[in-house]
Structure 1
């Protein structure tokens, strides 16, 4: 889904269609979307995201898990900075 103006309106129409069906799992999903609708609308309409930051965090956690119990902070720091 490419972020664009009007996606939030399309989501509202989709949620209404889901509520008209007999699919309880999708009802639960749409209730979850409604709990933080402002954030969902922002994700659907704005082209900005923090995917790069999340990727760096995931990679850092992976290296940390691999290094657990093997060496000190200095080597961990070097692996993160050079990797």
Structure 2
């Protein structure tokens, strides 16, 4: 998983940086700038998906309630999922 995946990532980045599509080339360059973090994220079993989903849910509730109700109702919607 580790060495083989690293080699595959390195090969992909070389190809992507030479791509005609500038967005892909820039994306590959950005990954290379933070290569250690990308490798660590691929190798760990942990995920922050639950946290991100919760934050997204709260932001959605806030957007729908903007200028419509007070903090008490917002708190109730977030806590009790109304």
TM-score range, shorter chain: 0.7 to 0.9
* Gaps in structure 1 of 5+ consecutive residues: none
- TM-score between both structures, scaled by the size of structure 2: 0.81
Of 20, 23, 27 in structure 1, the residue corresponding to residue 20 of structure 2 is: 23
- TM-score between both structures, scaled by the size of structure 1: 0.80
* Gaps in structure 2 of 5+ consecutive residues: none
TM superposition shift of 1:22: 4.5
Work out the number of aligned pairs and report it.
79
More helix by share: 2
Alpha-carbon spacing, 1:9–1:22, altered in 2? closer, same or farther (3 Å): closer
Say whether the 8 Å CA contact 1:15–1:30 is kept in structure 2: yes
